[in-house]
Every structure is written in C-alpha cells, then in structure tokens.
Structure 1
Amino acid sequence: MSEVKKIATRESYGNALVELGNKHEDVVVLDADLAAATKTGTFKKAFPERHIDCGIAECNMIGVAAGIATTGKVPFASSFAMFAAGRAFEQVRNSVGYPKLNVKIGATHAGISVGEDGATHQCNEDIALMRTIPGMVVINPSDDVEAKAAVEAAYEHVGPVYLRFGRLAVPVINDKPDYKFELGKGVVLREGKDVTIVATGLPVSNCLEAAEKLAADGIDAKVINIHTIKPLDEELIAEAAKETGKIVTVEEHSVIGGLGSAVCDVVAEKAPAKVLKIGINDTYGESGPAVELVKKYGLDADSIYEKVKAFC
C-alpha cells in the first residue's frame, strides 16, 4: 500500500497565494515578521512589490490591511492564529468587521499541533472568537486541496474572512475529480446510519479512519467534513441528526465556542439529538511533539474510535 501524501495546510496557503497573485493583481499580502513560518514568503518571492512585512505588530497590520481594503485591493493579513485572532481581536472586530471591509485573515499554526511552541502559541480559542464577529466568515480546511480552494473562495467572497491553517502535515483526502468547495456547505465523506461524526480541520482524516474501525465493530458511522464553520451548513447537520439520532463533533479547538457549540445550537433548535463534543476540554495545551499532543488530547483515530464507540 502506497504511503498517504501529507502536506501542512500552511504550505497550501502560501502556494495558493502565489496562484491567486498570478491571476489577480489586486491581491496584497501582509505579514507580521513570520513570512517563513506562515509561508507568505512564497508570495513575497514571487511578488515582492505586493508583500508588506509589518513587523511584530499584528494590531497595526490589521489596521494597515483595513486601509488597503478601502482602496479596492484585497489584502490577506497573515500571522499565527494566537496573534491574528487573539492579540489583534479588537482591531479585527472594529477595523475590519464593523465596517465590513474586504480583508482576509490567514491564521496559521492554529491548535495544539503547533507542538513544541507550547501553550502560549497553541490557539484553541480562535474559532470561538471569530464566530462572534458579525459578518465574519470562518473557514477551517482539512487538507491541501481544501486549503487552496478555501483561499480562492475567500478572495471571491466580498467581506471579511478568517482562514485557519495548521503547522502539522496532514493527509490529503480531497484529491478527487468530483471535489467541490462551496462556502457554507458541508461535505459528506462517508454515509452511515448509527451515528454522525461532524469534524473540521486536522481531525477529519482521523475521523474517517475511526469510522472504519467502528464499522468493524458493527457501528455504521456517517462522517461529515465541515470546512466552513460560519456560515454553518445547518440543513446538513439537522438532516444528519434526524437520520442517526447521535452526533459527535471533533475539532482541534476548545469544546467551548467552536464547531461543537455551533452544531449544538443547530441541533437544539432544529433536530434534537444526543451530542458528544470531542476537542480541547477547557484547558491549555503544553509543549511537546505535535503527533504526541494530538494523541494525548484525544484527537487521533484510536481515541476518536474509543469515544464514539462508548457514546454509541
């Protein structure tokens, strides 16, 4: 069996920006002294005149991006999720969200898979923060194919967009001829009748693996990939809740305010069902190898399998 191709979605982001820059002269990329890590350096090499390094001043970077957006250009402001969503939250809210400016925020190094950088850099709160900003689109792609499609979709969408990318290389699962990315639409990766696993970002591939393990135990799990957390595909979630009666959400993010909370809102209102939220349980991360942390915090395939099995 051939080895599964793995690519970090931050790499996909950098490559997608170059593709976008080749097609659209109005694309401008900003970074906060992290171009090598966020991979915007790839864009800088191709289009140095359209790349602005704002230094270690993320709040100012968002303000600069807002100003650029008022000129009709499309800025992609990039930094680690902890700084783009956390440190610069007030500027994102008031300088981008409130005036509904066409700014795209490329947040890399999200979640605990940042690894050895530790709790201060492992942002497990960004989806919750960005969801609260009126009009903000929130996208968390699961692999290379989806990440590139998300960048293109973010450009096409007029208005603020938050794009979440990871540091750890993840399996490419969407390299299929019929794959289609549509903002606000979930993707059914596997049909099932006993339980629905709704996942986003890094754990999506692990959920597919867990579903195969569950099948061996006679549990038929439906798997849905939610790349757009806001606006959420409420219709798909409600239908799945009615079909299976049990929902398990999986995210590399706090169980407070992220995908799980968004799904619970829909289920409570439209299709009451039991829900189990798998994610970071009201705790900070810690320093360590990314793969080990994913396992410790219960986001690997075996852990997801065990939790879903017990839930069923």
Structure 2
Amino acid sequence: MTALTGQAPVAPVYDCRVDFADELAVLARADKRIVAVCNDSVGSSNLVKFREEFPTRLINVGIAEQDLVGVSAGLANAGFIPFVSAAAPFLTGRALEQIKADIAYSYRHVVLCGQSPGMAYGELGPTHHSIEDLSWMRAVPGLEIIVPADPSETRAAVRWAAASGRPTYLRVPRFKVPAVVPDGTPFEAGRATCLAAGTDLTLIAVGTMVSRALDAAALLARDGLSARVLNATFVEPLDVESVVAAARETGAIVTAEEGLLSGGLGAAVAKVVAEHHPVPVRMLGVPAFAPTGSASFLLDHFGLSAEGIAGAARDVLGRT
C-alpha cells in the first residue's frame, strides 16, 4: 500500500514493440544474416534505430505486402533470416497467398511479425483491426504461431524465432501490458506456462489477455473459486498436454483471446478438449466486426476484461 494514498501501486505497463526492436538489434549485431523487411512501416514497427544502425539491412518495399513476403522468401532462400514487420491486418490479409506458397509450403525461415494486432488500432476501425489473423494463420500448415504476453516473452520469442529455422508468425502487441512472465521462464515451442495454480477451473489466454486472466483469477479468489491460469504463448503448436491436464484436473476451461472466436485459440483448445477429455469450455473473443472506439473500450465491450473473464468463469461453473 502506498503511504500517501492508501491504495495499491499500479503496475507499470510496456509497449512490446520496443522490446521487439531492441532484441532484434541485439541479434543483428551478432548475426549478419538477420535483416528487417517492412512495408513503409519503419516508425510504427519501432525500427528507426535499427535502420540507423543497419542502414543496408533494412529493406523497405513500400505499401506492397505481397512483394514484402515474396522478397523475404527470396532473402531466406539466399541465406538471410528476414524479420518481416508490418501491421498485422495487412501482412496477413493482403499477403495470405504468399505466406501460404512462398513461406509455409516452401518452408522458408522467415519470421512474419504482425505489428499492432487485435484491436490495438482502436478508432481506425475494422479495416485496421487484426482479429482474423490467428484463424487465418492456423489454417496454414507448417507455420508456428506465437503470441507473447509481455516484454520479456516478446524478447524470448524474437530469439527463438531467429534460431528456430522455421516459418513463424509472431504477434507483436501495441496495446500496453504489464510484466507477467517470471524471469528465467523457459521458452519452448508448444509449451504453455502456468502462471497461477488452481483447482476449480482453468483460464487459458494469450497476449494482452494473459494479464487480464490473472486479474480475473484474483477476482474469483474473492468468491472462493480457485482458477488456474495458463499462458498458452504458442497457438500453433498448442500445448496439448497442458490443456488435457487442465481439463482433467480442473473440470472446466475459459479461453480468452484478442481475436475472432472462429478458428483461433479457443477453437484450438476446444478441439483438444473434445478429442481427449470433454469438459465445459467457454470461449471469449471477438464474435464479429467491432464498433468504433478505443482499444480499451473495445476489449471491455466484448467482455475481454478481468470482470468479463471472471463472469464467464462463474457462468461455466454455474455460479452466476
């Protein structure tokens, strides 16, 4: 408690784009194969300092996303490790065919970095919201999908993607989030992290929703409900073992994601549960195109708040 106000201090929040760019520069200093490729998005991708330090290793193709991905596939074929940075809705929507054919089918080591995903662009509306990307990317075979929850996990994801040798889609949050992943937490493909123990149900979240799931668990604890919180991190490959254990040990699951309900994290979890250990599952996400409003307003509008997640948990347990 603070001495002056008597209120608990507010946890600091961070823009993960800064950590993405800083870690990319660290890796580029050690490995000359690493290049950044963007679509006239140097500023919004926070790559200004990268361009200043590595002027010949940032390729700006202009507003031409199909070329963006095609050029990156060629660079990978020549032995480079391209980090392709663009606003998530345009990278995944406009260049889906190139992602499918040039990156995934050809199995090129390209890291597709979807900047400002979900509803981070707020008032710019559905044309700029990237709520479909997880569904689209999950439909492409052979593509790893990473949704980091905080700055340290963003840095770990950049390091993993650079070393993996695999085609990867990395969501880089614009909406500011607190630090939630403990220092030293291993970062492994297809491995979720349990951030809170619980026995009554499990909350499974990714990205901006992880901190809100932790807050929801705290709200539920006041009602005597014990909620396990899993940070899924990898939507593909999903941590099947942890999901099945959650179903078996806690008996109910609520998923939370900043994306469409059809085809994303919730759909992936529901498939695993249905196949291995059926239990009640409630999926929280975006059901349709969003109205106009700030990112915070839109998240609350769709129940993607601590209170909304806690309410869904009570509902799935019949405790409304």
TM exceeding 0.5: yes
2:299 is equivalent to residue 294 of structure 1? yes
2:271 is equivalent to residue 247 of structure 1? no
Contact 2:254 2:312 in 1 (8 A): no
Choose 51-60 or 3-12, whichever is displaced more: 3-12
3-state SS, counterpart of residue 116 of structure 1? helix
Aligned to 2:207: 201
2:93 is equivalent to residue 86 of structure 1? yes
Q: Aligned-pair distance for 1:30?
A: 0.3
2:81 is equivalent to residue 69 of structure 1? no
Q: Aligned-pair distance for 1:16?
A: 1.7
| Partner amino acid, structure 2, of 1:72 | G
RMSD: 1.1
Q: 2:174 aligns with which of 149, 159, 167?
A: 167
3-state SS, counterpart of residue 28 of structure 1? strand
3-state SS, counterpart of residue 224 of structure 1? strand
Q: Aligned-pair distance for 1:40?
A: 2.4
Aligned to 2:284: 278
Listed as ranges, the matches of 1:1-312 within 5 Å are 1-174=8-181, 176-281=182-287, 283-312=288-317
| Partner amino acid, structure 2, of 1:293 | L
Contact 1:31 1:40 in 2 (8 A): no
| Partner amino acid, structure 2, of 1:260 | G
3-state SS, counterpart of residue 120 of structure 1? coil
Partners of 2:291 and 2:165 in 1: CA distance = 37
Partners of 1:244 and 1:213 in 2: CA distance = 18
CA deviations 1:102-154 (Å, max 9, x no partner) are: 11101111111221221101010101111111110000001111111001000
- Return 5+ residue gaps in structure 1 as ranges: none
- Return 5+ residue gaps in structure 2 as ranges: 1-7
Q: Sequence identity, in percent?
A: 37
3-state SS, counterpart of residue 294 of structure 1? helix
Distance 1:112 1:177, change over 3 A: closer
Q: Aligned-pair distance for 1:257?
A: 0.3
TM-score norm. by structure 1 comes to: 0.97
Partners of 1:113 and 1:298 in 2: CA distance = 16
3-state SS, counterpart of residue 56 of structure 2? helix
Aligned to 2:3: none
Q: How many residues align?
A: 310
CA deviations 1:253-276 (Å, max 9, x no partner) are: 111000000001111111111110
Choose 178-187 or 133-142, whichever is displaced more: 178-187
Q: Aligned-pair distance for 1:68?
A: 0.3
